[in-house]
């Protein structure tokens, strides 16, 4: 009898879940017309039978299908540039053929956590022994109109990319529903605002219906980019519904409760229980604080008891901030949580709002609160204790006011699990500035971070129920200009210096303390984006000799920045920050090991100067045009066993080059190159440049590389015979290089069924209706080579 009662109770619960809530599948969507754009470009060969192609990096959010047509067998080499190297690959293709071929990539390099980054290019070399190969590149994309407030149906080709255009005026917030019409397909989407910034992006599969909340950024033409990858040969269809909504504002001290109605479980005509995919419930709430008082959002779910017994829709929350994270392009800051409850601190540093969208079904209850907690100032340069006294995970928040740029190092002691830390703020352009920061139990082993000035929210996340520990946030100001500095032991100081790209610098740190001490010092050198240029640990000492002070071991450490090693890099255009952190001071007169001084102030002298080309034996300046040029060096007698020769080359961007090197009185040589990429250094070592090396470094040899900048520094490290006067003669020859023409920006398409010329160097050579029932206009564009 008890078993029967349980079955009856279960049936009642199931029926209740099924009958509750008006969530429906999208139906009767109007299928829209679309434009298929085909962009075609010829790739000419050069006199040596090779074809060279320069492909700019770009935001391949999802790939437009690209094709290569060739009428002969071909070999090809690809050189994909990265921040500090390139990746070279090769392959062979039989011809004639038209095949899928990816020309470029979204290969982005960043020079620090504050840098938006830059896309780096590819160079492609195509080879055919007949010298008569014909090459052609094609790229295809699709456009369709996306109406606000109306259901839209779209047919798609698997492996193709579709751009839905829509105009935003005064709408505050959107919910976009995507409902695939079949299983066995994986789909990707990206939503871009009028400036090309990412508002949302993700993937989904198995025919699942999703609701995408996103916050627009003002008026303009927006794009929804869709890409499908089907596992079958059947059609790919999707229904879309873009709705403008008004979020529910939650003021401080308010609590909202609601239920996610509806279910994908339904009762069939025969009384059986079946699953029918539905659009999930979605509700968005708005929150705001101010720069003075942070806010706190807390939420929790209450699942029906049947929830764990059936395959239910797992509810989740999407937090959206009115901020953009650094990137190229920048992306809207968002965070998704599917836990049973959580806490989210926020700070309207740029007067921005925050949003929480609850998505789910199956009668899951939830509640959400907004309050203004007491958030204390972060204790700095002193120890403080933290202990999680809650039953679950705990989050602590603090305010850190930085009136000037600073450097930070965190150490801890006596931890039990401990806390993880995040720190963030926003600038006046609604740009998120934040990162995680780590602590260490030993001061000198903790990382050092560069922080711009601002009002920061610092969050500590407990690792468990009984997490505890002592923490110390050691903070030092950043001062301008090198020179004498005084720093307390176990503290730190930052020094800002002015820097230029592709420039060698020499940095000296000298102990000028007139005392019998030996000092251990950490050095961190950053560029202006917080990227690390150098880390070093140095030991400096002084001792008294009568009335004079002499080095005890060494009292000066020198660093030549810009050499081709894994430890050093060149700076970006702007400034560098040198962080100095002494952590141990020993008395030299106390015998072996000495005794340590605490609370001791150390005097240093810091110099930072452009080393110019004095780091090299000789430097030549060369300008490359359409014809080969020479750069000649005379290797003196007497000379050095190891010498360095530098060529500062100006060249057109996007040109593949050959370097022929003729050497006398040389045992061997190697080379490395720096190029100015948006004001920051891109580096190729000899491990990269020797990929196409031919010959002998003792006599005649050659290598090749491409220009990704108009400003290039090439350094030759030469090992000498020293038998006689020598020479190093370098011929630099440009190859005719074709620039791959990326399609122009997507224009608004109203769905009228006509293709329009897109301007620039693209010529519309044909357009026609390909399908009558669902109108598809095929527009073919051919690239007109510039005169």
Mean pLDDT per 10-residue section of the chain, whose length is 787 residues: 30 33 49 88 90 88 86 94 94 93 87 92 89 89 93 91 94 95 89 93 87 95 93 85 96 93 71 72 91 89 66 82 86 83 87 92 90 95 90 85 97 89 89 94 96 94 87 98 97 97 94 95 97 95 90 94 73 96 92 81 96 82 96 90 94 98 95 95 94 95 97 95 89 96 83 56 56 65 63
Both 564 and 500 in one domain: the answer is yes
Tell me how far the alpha carbon of residue 319 is from its chain's centroid.
21
Whether 277 contacts 207, CB under 8 Å = yes
Both 567 and 447 in one domain: the answer is no
Task: Look at the chain and report how many structural domains it folds into.
Answer: 6
Both 180 and 127 in one domain: the answer is no
CATH of the domain at 135: 2.60.290
Element (H, E) at 682: strand 680-684
Both 59 and 8 in one domain: the answer is no
CATH of the domain at 217: 2.60.120.380
Q: Which of 609, 615, 679 is nearest to 644 (CA)?
A: 615
Domain boundary among 230, 245, 260: 245
pLDDT of residue 2: 33
Both 630 and 677 in one domain: the answer is yes
Domain that holds residue 567: 481-610
Within the chain, how many helices (H) and strands (E) appear? 2, 62
Domain membership of residue 762 (yes or no) is no
Q: Which of 618, 668, 676 is nearest to 647 (CA)?
A: 618
Sign of CA dihedral 300, 305, 307, 308: positive
Domain boundary among 610, 642, 672: 610
Tokens of residue 184, six digits = 């066995």
SS3 track for 535-551: EEEEEEEEEEECCEEEE
pLDDT of residue 25: 45
Both 62 and 130 in one domain: the answer is yes
Domain membership of residue 310 (yes or no) is yes
For 740, half-sphere exposure in the C-beta direction (CA atoms, 13 angstrom radius) is 26
Both 234 and 264 in one domain: the answer is no
CATH of the domain at 257: 2.60.120
Domain membership of residue 91 (yes or no) is yes
CATH of the domain at 719: 2.60.120.790
Both 650 and 729 in one domain: the answer is yes
Both 406 and 447 in one domain: the answer is yes
Both 138 and 155 in one domain: the answer is no
Domain membership of residue 597 (yes or no) is yes
pLDDT of residue 32: 81
Domain boundary among 348, 375, 402: 375
Both 258 and 312 in one domain: the answer is yes
Tokens of residue 36, six digits = 């298929």
User: What is the value of pTM for the model shown?
Assistant: 0.88
Domain membership of residue 1 (yes or no) is yes
pLDDT of residue 59: 77
Q: Residue 588 class from Cβ within 10 Å (0-12 exposed, 13-18 middle, 19+ buried)?
A: middle
Both 415 and 357 in one domain: the answer is no
Q: Which of 111, 57, 67 is nearest to 87 (CA)?
A: 57
Q: How far apart are CA 240 and CA 227, in angstroms?
A: 14
Domain membership of residue 752 (yes or no) is no
SS3 track for 504-539: CEEEEEEECCCCCEEEEEEEEEEECCCCEEEEEEEE
pLDDT of residue 391: 62
pLDDT of residue 348: 86
Q: How far apart are CA 426 and CA 457, in angstroms?
A: 10
Whether 256 contacts 248, CB under 8 Å = yes
Domain membership of residue 757 (yes or no) is no
Domain membership of residue 754 (yes or no) is no
């Amino acid at each position: 009898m008890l078993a029967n009662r349980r079955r009856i109770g279960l049936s009642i619960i199931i029926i209740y879940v099924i009958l509750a809530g008006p969530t429906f599948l999208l139906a009767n969507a109007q299928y829209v017309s679309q434009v298929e754009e085909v962009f075609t470009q010829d790739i000419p060969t050069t006199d040596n039978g090779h074809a060279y192609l320069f492909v700019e990096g770009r935001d391949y959010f999802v790939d437009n299908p690209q094709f290569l047509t060739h009428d002969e067998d071909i070999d090809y080499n690809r050189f994909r540039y990265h921040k500090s190297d390139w990746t070279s690959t090769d392959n062979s293709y039989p011809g004639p053929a038209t095949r899928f071929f990816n020309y470029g990539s979204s290969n982005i390099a960043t020079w620090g956590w504050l840098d938006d980054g830059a896309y780096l290019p590819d160079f492609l070399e195509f080879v055919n022994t007949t010298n008569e190969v014909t090459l052609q590149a094609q790229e295809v994309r699709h456009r369709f109109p996306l109406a606000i407030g109306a259901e839209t149906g779209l047919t798609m080709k698997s492996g193709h990319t579709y751009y839905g255009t829509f105009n935003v005026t005064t709408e505050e917030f959107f919910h976009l529903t995507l409902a695939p019409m079949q299983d066995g397909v994986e789909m990707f989407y990206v939503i871009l605002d009028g400036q090309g910034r990412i508002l949302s992006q993700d993937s989904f599969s198995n025919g699942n219906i999703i609701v995408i909340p996103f916050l627009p950024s003002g008026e303009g033409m927006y794009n929804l980019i869709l890409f499908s990858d089907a596992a079958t040969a059947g059609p790919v269809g999707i229904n879309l519904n873009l709705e403008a909504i008004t979020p529910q504002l939650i003021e401080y001290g308010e609590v909202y409760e609601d239920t996610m109605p509806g279910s994908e479980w339904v009762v069939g005509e025969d009384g059986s229980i079946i699953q029918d995919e539905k659009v999930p419930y979605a509700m968005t709430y708005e929150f705001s604080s101010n720069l003075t008082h942070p806010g706190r959002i807390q939420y929790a779910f209450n699942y029906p008891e049947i929830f764990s017994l059936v395959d239910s829709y797992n509810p989740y929350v999407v937090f959206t901030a009115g901020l953009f994270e650094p990137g190229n392009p920048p992306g809207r800051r968002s965070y998704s949580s599917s836990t049973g409850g959580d806490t989210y601190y926020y700070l309207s540093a740029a007067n921005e709002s925050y949003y929480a969208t609850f998505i789910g079904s199956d009668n899951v209850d939830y509640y959400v609160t907004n309050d203004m907690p007491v958030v204390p100032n972060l204790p700095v340069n002193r120890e403080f204790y933290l202990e999680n006294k809650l039953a679950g995970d705990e989050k602590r928040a603090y305010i850190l006011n930085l009136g000037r740029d600073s450097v930070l190092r965190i150490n801890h002691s006596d931890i039990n699990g401990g806390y993880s830390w995040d720190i963030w703020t926003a600038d006046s352009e609604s740009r998120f500035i934040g990162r995680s920061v780590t602590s260490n139990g030993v001061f000198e082993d903790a990382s050092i971070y560069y922080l711009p000035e601002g009002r920061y929210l610092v969050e500590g996340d407990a690792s468990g129920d009984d997490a505890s520990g002592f923490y110390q946030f050691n903070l030092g100001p950043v001062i301008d200009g090198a020179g004498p500095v005084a720093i307390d032991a176990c503290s730190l100081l930052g020094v800002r210096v002015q820097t230029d790209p592709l420039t060698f610098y020499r940095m000296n740190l000298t102990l000028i303390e007139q005392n019998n001490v030996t000092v251990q010092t950490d050095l961190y050198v950053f560029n202006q984006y917080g990227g690390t240029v150098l880390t070093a640990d140095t030991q400096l000492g002084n001792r008294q000799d009568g009335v004079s002070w002499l080095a005890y071991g060494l009292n000066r450490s020198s660093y030549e920045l810009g050499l081709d090693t894994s430890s050093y890099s060149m700076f970006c255009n702007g400034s560098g920050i040198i962080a100095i952190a002494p952590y141990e001071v020993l008395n030299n007169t106390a015998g072996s090991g000495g005794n340590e001084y605490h609370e001791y102030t150390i005097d240093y002298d810091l110099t930072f100067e452009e080393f110019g080309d004095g780091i090299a034996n000789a430097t030549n300046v060369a300008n490359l045009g359409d014809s080969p040029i020479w750069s000649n060096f005379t290797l003196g007698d007497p000379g050095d066993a190891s010498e360095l020769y530098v060529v500062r080359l100006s060249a057109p961007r996007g040109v593949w080059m050959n370097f022929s090197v003729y050497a006398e009185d040389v045992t061997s040589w190697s080379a490395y190159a720096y190029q100015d990429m948006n004001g920051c250094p891109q580096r190729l070592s000899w491990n990269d440049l020797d990929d196409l090396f031919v010959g002998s470094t003792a006599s005649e040899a050659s290598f090749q590389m491409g220009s990704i900048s108009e400003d290039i520094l090439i350094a030759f490290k030469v090992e000498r015979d020293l038998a006689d006067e020598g020479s190093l003669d370098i011929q630099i020859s440009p190859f005719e290089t074709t620039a791959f023409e990326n399609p122009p920006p997507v224009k608004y398409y109203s769905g009228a069924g006509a293709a329009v010329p897109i301007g620039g160097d693209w010529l519309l050579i044909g357009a026609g209706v390909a399908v009558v029932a669902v109108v598809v206009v095929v527009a073919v564009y051919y690239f007109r080579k510039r005169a």
